Amino acid sequence: MSGHVAPKSLYCTVFVTLMVFTGLTVWVAFYDLGLYSNIVALGIACIKATLVILFFMHVRWSTRLTWVVVMSGFFWLLILFGLGMSDYLSRGWVQGTLR
């Protein structure tokens, strides 16, 4: 079996990066950035998740088919959030026109 063997140093670099981002997200949470607080917090979480998926989970070296399956999962999640929130956030508008 000839799976890609990543060097230990790469795993350690990814680990250190994850630690730095964890520290950053805690540090930035104590500052009031208004609406950007959520964007920064979720942006950092997305970067961390991407690092774990690409390197720890070996997707970086996986087949195209695996890429498609992984991406489809997150794409469907975005559909859930997008359509779900457009429904919930606009409910008041519909009530306003009906009554």
Partner 1 sequence: MAADGHARVAAEGAHGVRHPRLQHHFDDMEQQAEASTLGMWVFLVTEIMFFGGLFMAYLVYRTQMPDAFREASHHLDITLGATNTVILIVSSLTMALAVRSAQTGQPAKTQVGWLVATMVFGAAFLGIKAIEYTEKFRDHIVPGPFFEWHGTYPRGAEMFYSLYFAMTGLHALHMVVGLGIMTVMASLAWRGRFDDTYYTPIEVSGLYWHFVDIVWIFLFPLLYLIGRH
> What residues make contact with partner 1 under the rule CB under 8 A?
1-3, 5-6, 8, 11-12, 14-15, 18-19, 22, 25-26, 29-32, 37-38, 41-42, 44-45, 48-49, 52-53, 55-58, 62-63, 65-66, 69-70, 72-74, 76-77, 80-81, 84-85, 88-89
Rg (CA), the chain: 19
CB of 76 to partner 1, least distance (A): 7
7's CB contacts (< 8 A; 6+ apart) are none
Residue with smaller CB distance to partner 1, 73 or 99: 73
Closest to 74 (Cα-Cα) out of 95, 40, 46: 46
Residue with smaller CB distance to partner 1, 80 or 98: 80
CB of 99 to partner 1, least distance (A): 20
55's CB contacts (< 8 A; 6+ apart) are 6, 10, 11, 14
